[in-house]
Amino acid sequence: MTTAKMSEYAELIRVGLKDLSNLKKEFDSIEADCGSRNWDGYNATPISHNALRSAWDYASSLPEEIPIPEVTPEPDGEIALEWYGKDGSVFSISFGEGETISYAGLI
């Protein structure tokens, strides 16, 4: 990755102070709404407690300079943390039942 691209990427994940109370509410809502099979009406895999715990531990430990991510349950049972840039850039990290973390970005 070039220095210019890294700078653009840093801009995507830069900004302000965190209030984690709304983030915690999002995680609690996902746990309540997505913890059983077919939570989306299309036979989705339940979001596991381990996936929620891993994603929460990661999101809540990020430095204040990194903005709070959007939290999205995925039909394969993973939970994604997502950051969107004003220029259409996006970065996503997904946590599943095991210890594997998947990530993708578009700059």
| Per-residue pLDDT tens digits for 84-104 | 999 999 999 999 999 899 999
Percent above pLDDT 70 for the chain? 83
- Give the per-residue pLDDT at 11: 45
The four Cα atoms 74, 78, 84, 90 give a dihedral, to 10 degrees, of: -100
What is the 3 state secondary structure string of 55-71?
HHHHHHCCCCCCCCCEE
| Per-residue pLDDT tens digits for 27-62 | 999 999 999 999 999 999 999 999 999 999 999 999
Model's pTM, two decimal places? 0.79
**Helix/strand/coil for 53:** helix
